[in-house]
Each structure stands twice: as structure tokens, then as C-alpha cells.
Structure 1
């Protein structure tokens, strides 16, 4: 199956999920992340604000870690510190309708980051990710400052597949987390 067709099929399945099931699966996924050593030893974590029924990571944002969230700038991502506990402007919808930190919030640099939680449509057991087709994460993760940062793909278990089609520019993630567990 081609990437575009697979993407449509999996997004349709995800959006058909009942809100109560979505919430319960998201909470279980967060519990697996929070219990992991890689999460506990990370001081600054990059994440995302859930969009179109992506797994919701909101329960994690009250932990002691510092959090960074992306803003789309042209064809790249810039990462900004944001916390619900500090007096920062609230996130606002960006160019794609996804919540983003306000441009005035402090920027995070790669050397400050310990872990990246990567949104995905699907991941395969080898760590390859099917994204949304914009290439934002592929471009970022291939840059020297980001190249060796630990990355965990975040998907529901039905989207953790045996094998995805892979292009030459695709980079495998270090692990995958679903409601069934953290697979490193």
C-alpha cells in the first residue's frame, strides 16, 4: 500500500475512535512513558499538542520536566518552551490549525533537549514513521544538532505496523510508545 493511501486509511480509523476510548488509550500511553527510565531521566522534552485525535499527552505536562512545543515557520519547526504553570501566553492555532506556542515564548536549542516525542500517523516495528506528508520532522531530525537526540514515535497500537514503505530520507526513531507499552 502506498504512503498516501495508508495515511488516509489510518487517519480515518483514528478519527472514528470513540472519545472515551481515545482518552483511555491516551492515558495508558502516558503511563507507559512516565514509567520509563528514558522519560524520568529527561529534563527537557519536546512534545506536541494533540490534533485530530492524535494520542493526547496532556497528562504528562504537569510533570517536573521542561516542555518544548513546535511552531511551524515556513518549512521548518522552531521549538519553544511552554508550561501551564508559568505566566506565558496561551498556545494559539498556527498555520495548519494546530496549537502552537506564542512566538514570544522562549526558544529551545537542540543542546537543551533530552528527548523528542514525535507525533505520527503510524510507526513500524523497525522505528520508521509515517508522518503527515509535510516532511517537518524528517528535515529537523536530519540536521546535525538533532541527529542523535532520542526519539519516540507516539501512536495508538493499531498504527504500530510490521512494516511501512520507506524512502531514502526516512530516519528510524529510537522507540515507539502505544497504549500497549514502550518499545525501544
Structure 2
């Protein structure tokens, strides 16, 4: 299974790199609009959201929207291989590239938000399937973290061009409750 996932990751990374820039921008903006209109967004007093980097949905508008709405905003802080914590930020200026992947992160002293206190988790992926299966980057960070966020609604952001009918899934892979594209919302039965 690992070799099949690794091969699929290479294919999806190539597809992402080949996306038309105008489509990529429009899809990202559509996804942000759809997520901020979703009832789970309105109901959430706390949001855990990745900081999008090149090739991913630009989540900075979501991060700003959460802060402007007075929500507790937490972003990932890598703690070591496969391990991360949710750390609260009050401003995007607190984020700086760090860790092994150069992803913008909060400072090490940012307060930790216990995963069980999170109301909404916004998830990255290389690809997703309508059943909530995500193809991540292979580090296992989210599959280790998400079971701890037992009270959170889990929404994976995926451009429609990267939605796959079926993706490989292992028993430890945590599915999203919803997959959100620029033009559709998939409610995933039995997410988790």
C-alpha cells in the first residue's frame, strides 16, 4: 500500500504543478467562499487550519476571516516526525517559515489549544475522494492528530480537478466529515 500511495502522490503532485494558474486561483477563492458559508464555520468558536503553501489552497483568507470573526484560531506546529500540536495565533504576522518543510508556523511559545476543544479542523490534501478519504503528503501528521480532535468537524479542501472517485485507504487513515471543492460539498458518511 505504501508504494501505491507514494506513486499516487507523485502523480498528484505533477497534476497540481500542471494546474492552470487562473483555475487554481479561482478554485481557491471558491473554496474559501464555500467554507466561510458552511454552517460548521459559522458555529465554530475555534478553528484549526493549515497554513497553505505552494501547491495548496491559499488559506490565509480563511485564517484572517477566523481572526476577524473572533474565533480562536489554531495552526499546526510540528513537534517532530509525524507529530504536531494546535497552537493559537492572534495575528498572521506571528507565522514564520520553520520546521523541516518550511511551512509558516507559530512561535514555539504560542499557547497550545487542546485538540478536544477544537470545533472545526480544516485539512490539506493532495487529492480527496467523495467518501472523505484524503491523500496527504505521507508524514502521518493529521492521521495522528485528528483522533484527538474528537469533537471537531473535519473538512478537507480539494480542488475539483484533484477529486478522485476512490483513493487507497489504510485502517489508520482518518477520513474527513466533508470534502469541499469550489463547486461541491460532499458529506462523508462515517467520516473519521
Equivalent position of 1:49 in the other structure: 51
Give distance in 2, aligned partners of 1:21 and 1:50: 17
* 8 Å Cα contact 2:115-2:150 kept in structure 1: no
Equivalent position of 1:119 in the other structure: 124
Q: Taking structure 1 as reference, are residues 83 and 182 closer, same or farther at Cα in structure 2, changes over 3 Å only? A: farther
Equivalent position of 1:3 in the other structure: 5
Query: In structure 2, which of residues 53, 67, 74 is the aligned counterpart of residue 68 of structure 1?
Result: 74
- Structure 2: give runs of 5+ residues left out of the alignment: 188-192
Q: What is the TM-score with the length of structure 2 in the denominator?
A: 0.86
Q: Does 1:136 align with 2:144?
A: no
Equivalent position of 1:168 in the other structure: 171
**Structure 1 residues 46-78: Cα deviation after superposition (integer angstroms, max 9, x where no partner):** 111112320112112222122111011113111
Structure number having the greater helix percentage:
2
How far 1:148 sits from its partner (Å)? 4.2
Query: In structure 2, which of residues 115, 121, 125 is the aligned counterpart of residue 110 of structure 1?
Result: 115
- Structure 1: give runs of 5+ residues left out of the alignment: none
Give distance in 2, aligned partners of 1:24 and 1:137: 26
Matched residue count? 180
* 8 Å Cα contact 2:118-2:151 kept in structure 1: no
Give distance in 2, aligned partners of 1:169 and 1:61: 28
* 8 Å Cα contact 2:119-2:151 kept in structure 1: no
Equivalent position of 2:190 in the other structure: none
- Alignment partner of 1:12: what SS? helix
Give distance in 1, aligned partners of 2:56 and 2:149: 23
Q: Taking structure 1 as reference, are residues 107 and 42 closer, same or farther at Cα in structure 2, changes over 3 Å only? A: same
* 8 Å Cα contact 1:29-1:181 kept in structure 2: no
Q: What is the TM-score with the length of structure 1 in the denominator?
A: 0.89
Query: In structure 1, which of residues 20, 38, 41 is the aligned counterpart of residue 22 of structure 2?
Result: 20
* 8 Å Cα contact 2:75-2:89 kept in structure 1: yes
* 8 Å Cα contact 2:132-2:179 kept in structure 1: yes
RMSD of aligned Cα (Å): 1.8
* 8 Å Cα contact 2:132-2:177 kept in structure 1: yes
**Structure 1 residues 29-49: Cα deviation after superposition (integer angstroms, max 9, x where no partner):** 000001111111111111111
